[in-house]
Structure 1
Amino acid sequence: MLDGSDLKSVRKNAGISQTDMANKLNCDRRTIINYEQGVCEPKSSQLFRWLDVC
């Protein structure tokens, strides 16, 4: 299971804001927040893109 706090840490360590990440993944900022809070998990394609961006 994916931990949203890990996604947040990776994003923050890369110096990317939630807004910038949303733009790079072509989704809403609210979606990024939901991923990071564990409300929902990204699809594998979104996860790979997240890691690629960071």
Structure 2
Amino acid sequence: MSLILIVDDSSDNRMRAKLALKNEGYKFIEAEDGIEALDKAIKYIPNIILLNFRR
């Protein structure tokens, strides 16, 4: 299963993305800003990075 890094400064947008991905069975990690995202991308090497999720 793919690991997805969700990056958005809005906790509401991150929550929406997490719910959508969880319902589809994806694994995910999240970051609030670019610096945190870069650190997590290096550490976890996600398959996909989702930036500024909007629904």
Normalised-by-shorter TM-score class: 0.3 to 0.5
Relative to its length, the structure with more strand (as a share) is 2
By relative contact order (CA 8 Å, sep 6+), the higher-ranking structure is: 2
Relative to its length, the structure with more helix (as a share) is 1
TM-score of the pair, normalised by structure 2:
0.36
